[in-house]
Amino acid sequence: MAAMLVRNAMQRAVAFLQHKMFPTSQTPALILAPLALNGASSALPSNPLSDAIWLAAPKSKVTPSRKKIRNNDLSKRLKNIVHFQDCPMCGEKKLRHRLCMSCFKKGKYFVYVLPVMDDVSIGLEIENASFLDASMSATAAKDVPPKPVPVPVPVPATVPVPASTPAPLTPSPTPFAAAPVLPVTPIASPAEENLRVSYHCKAIKCFRLQWEAEMNPRCPRQTTIVIENAVYIFDGFYLLCHSEPPEMPRFEYTRGGVMCKVHFVPEDLPSSVRGTTSNDVDADVNGEAHRSFCDSLFLLQRYVFQQLLGIQPAHLFGKVFPDPAHATGDASEVCGDYHLVPRFIAVNEEPLLHVEDLHSPNRVGYAIGRLLSVQKILEYLENSARFTVRDFLLRFDHRELVDCIVSTRIKGQPSAFRVDELAMEPRETGDANPPPAEKHGIVTKDGRHIVRAIAHRSEGARNFDGAKSKKKIRKWQEQGVFLQLSPEVEPLSQELRPAECHLTGIRTDLFEVGSAMPMVLKYVRHFSLLNSFATAMGLTFKDKTLLRQAFTHGSYIDVGMQNVNTVEATRSRVRLGHVFENTASLKRSRSMLLEGDTRIPGKAAGNNASQLRQVAEKHLSGDFKEEFHSRYLCPYERLEFLGDAVLGFLVASSAFLKLPEADEGFLHQTRVDIVNNENLGKMAKTANLESLLLTAFDLAKLDEEIKAKITADCFEALLGALYKDQGIVPCRELLGKLMGMHDPELRELCYLTTDQLIIEAKKYVEKDRAEIKKWSKYTSARLLHRRFAARSGVDISNTHLWLQAFTHASFQKPQIDDDEFIGHDPSYERIEFLGDAVLQLLSSEFLVDAFPYHQEHLLTQVRSSLVKNTKLAIVARKAGYEEFIRLGNLVKENGNLYIEDVLADVFEATLGAVFVENPGDLDKVRAILERLLFPRLTEAIRRRQWMNPRKVFMHYISQWSRSSMKPIPCQFKTIKAPGTTTQANVLVPKDSDDGKKSKKAKTNAPPGHAVALYVNNFQVARAAGRTVAAAQDAACKKALMLYGVRLHDD
């Protein structure tokens, strides 16, 4: 009776295992084996070996289905009856089940179920595991000669398989057959269609991804595959593209405080990766090799990225139809827009280049050699997944297990973990009664330790990974809602039983690089979008980084949006990727940040670049410290500063020649109307620049005014990037296209192409050429013109343009003689408007080069100081301008104008005249500025002339406060303005009544405002001025003189 009960119980147990291993309804695939029996479309959605282990492994918390098994009476009686029986496979006693747990997990129970897998003992292909190096693999191969391990292959797709019965499987003779049997096309669920590799995919163009970290990880070894004494080492991924890959700058990101770089090297996919001798897909007559590659690549991507890393396919790939001729919408024709192909390089075969990089743990993807095919990589991973950690520890050094990846189940859910340490106890030899730890643990190969468990210790990840500072984060948070933050991952400490963990055959290097792929692919897609925009606009950038920089908002860098990964990828990187130790002490040097950047020397003649940097470091206040950005990840502020000047010059030069009858005031208002943020925002919206923005904000929730300001800044930054890359001509073409898209009527009104500009400038120069030659004083004027050119070095070829540049608005009848010459433009006001735009452009260009690591707020202030009227007046006076200015007689006699303003205007007018004579070339104007103006920049910084007296005084107050370790209060108080004062030899603004010649013309009107300056509650100085700011500047200037600080006018 007992024997009958036992027999019936065993039959029911076998039937249950059959039902569990081959269900009729499909369930999600497990992660413990990559092939899922080669992805058969029959009723094999999961790995039978994994399900059997899941059933047999003891759990503290069990699911209802497992409770049902363990709590029924028949199972209890079966457990009691067979408890002391011998295992029919290994003879071990003290069993819980019909087979011992070791044999049960090795897959030998298939002998009693169905002949679907091999029945050879475990470890015959253990030398293929990645935790072995070449020497160990060779030793293992000598000790245990390899035997063939059958890999299950499903029946061909043409054979119908009933849904109610399991698919019959036939083993292949060797796991690495020369002509592998083509597996049945794996069925991809709708969520997996992004991973699909269509049979119509003929992509061979790809990027070789070169990954580099700034420090070495803890794991010094790479994932290694040993096949028939050939050693293959993991060396990154290929990113397979369906179109010609464009030139792609490197991608930089920060993970856990460690900066990493990804370089993109365009190549053709090697044919060895496909398992063929040629990349010509059409040459494959039967198409079997191509279909095998497509199926294997789909399974490999699904196993590594979806199942092990847990990344959703939609976060990696999109869906396309690779062949337009087969774009009917059928699911089999859908293909991922990109594919990730792992690279395993043969280290003992030729050719092999850059082998030193192959053994650098912080550099992946730099070696070149023969590669292992995708099919064999997949077969290797399938074989590795059959072995448990227990099997490894019994045969190999336990220390080699650290930094390997194992798969297991936690509360019934498949998971993968990095092995960080082994929970061990020393083994006591000579004791007749082994300790309990030895009974439940595993004795290491050397016999000295007992491994109780394998431990995983991950430190987690924090929000705002790679962000600049909390202060900057708060600043941006006040403007809008962030689109996404770096996922926060809590630290995890987990101990796992070795017998319940399966090997994956992969180390941390593959998962470290693989977990970064969502960020890399997002970068690639954005850059492809930028390339599409550049192509549509006819732009060809020599430096591709400038194009991306033009659309990178400061919040994108300060908040660390470049480093934001998906939640699943971040969690997998923490649990499966590299461990970098001592990152807190990591100091990133400027040379490392700027590696690969081209240093731009100072352009100004007589300016020593190193001297300028030393002066800037010493005399610039703490608010203007250098901000070191790699040119691959840099905000657009500097380009926007330059582009603002470019845009102003383009509009001014076109309006000046397009509207010859408009006065200076109308020209100025026209430029303001075109370049204001509201209009630029509309033009940017018409061009859809918003879709190219890189910001930390959720643009759908961002305030429209802020969004318009950002897009307008990007518009200017794009012009700045194009000017820096190619000069002014492409900028003018781009502006014309964008203006035509936004408002064709506005474009027609005040825009000129480069060719039209040259023609109109030539007409402008020729207008007065014939008339001036009829002038009675033409010869004497020519002599004055030559003397000016010899004295100042400013070469204006045409005398009538030179006269126009020096003619003040007061130089008109009846204040002049009847025989004086006045051209079609009666004064320099119009051409001074043009010269001002030229000066703004070239001074901005100079400052961007002179201060390569300072941002827009400093550049703006220095430019204001460099081109302000007092500075230009000093330059013009030293160049001899004052002698040649043409003024009306009344102004000469009364002197009622600010002579500094006139000198500055004349200087700018001469720049405009030089440009009109050379409209296609800015070099002649640039040469004048480099000789007269730009060399004064060093002294201007040393003397803090870029700061007004009030800012200089507050700078010294802050320095004195820090040195005395206590704050020094400083404030202004308004006082009663003094009465009328008369100053000698001071030219005052022109009086409204020009006809009165009295002494009052030299008398200042009563100042409108007066202030007193108090320091430490003591009155230090008093001063008056036309405005409050002017009065405060005057008071601070007096105070600085009292404190012994002298401000220089030059």
* Max CA pair span of the chain: 141
Q: State the Cα–Cα distance between residues 81 and 907, nearest whole angstrom.
A: 109
Q: Which helix (H) or strand (E) holds 954?
A: helix 949-964
Q: 252 — phi, psi (to 5°)?
A: -120, 140
Residue 1047 tokens, joined: 């401000």
Is 836 one of the annotated active-site residues of the chain?
Answer: yes
How far apart CA 713 and CA 155 sit, in angstroms, is: 62
908 is catalytic: yes
- Of these residues, 836, 845, 905, 1033, which one is catalytic? 836
Give backbone dihedrals phi and psi of 660, rounded to 5 degrees, phi first: -70, -20
| Tokens encoding 994 | 């020009």
Task: Tell me which DSSP letter residue 550 carries.
Answer: T
Q: Per DSSP, what are the bridge partners of residue 234?
A: 344
Alpha carbon distances (Å) from 711 to 552, 682, 690, 723? 11, 9, 6, 18
Q: CA 891, CA 881: separation in Å to the nearest integer?
A: 17
Provide the β-strand partners of residue 422. 454
Q: DSSP H helical segments within 806-898, as ranges? A: 829-850, 856-866, 869-878, 889-894
Query: How far, in Å, are 403, 413, 532, 931 from residue 497 at the CA level?
Result: 16, 15, 53, 78
Q: What is the dihedral of CA 272, 278, 280, 283, to 10 degrees?
A: -130
Please tell me which residue in 908, 917, 930, 1033 is annotated as part of the active site: 908
The residue to which tokens 């006139």 are assigned: 902
Exposure letters 328-358 (e unless 16+ CB within 10 A, then b): eeeeebbbbbbbbbbbbbbbeeeeeeeeebb
Separation of CA 68 from chain center? 54
8: number of Cβ within 10 Å = 12
Count other C-beta atoms under 10 Å from residue 451's C-beta. Answer: 21
Determine phi and psi for 529, rounding to 5 degrees.
-65, -40
Distance CA 841, CA 847 (A): 10
* Residues 6+ positions from 343 with CB-CB distance below 8 Å: 208, 234, 235, 236, 237, 238, 273, 365, 371
Q: Which amino acid is at 602?
A: G
DSSP letter assigned to residue 269 = P
For Cα atoms 221, 227, 231, give the angle at the middle one, nearest 5 degrees: 40
Catalytic residue positions?
836, 908
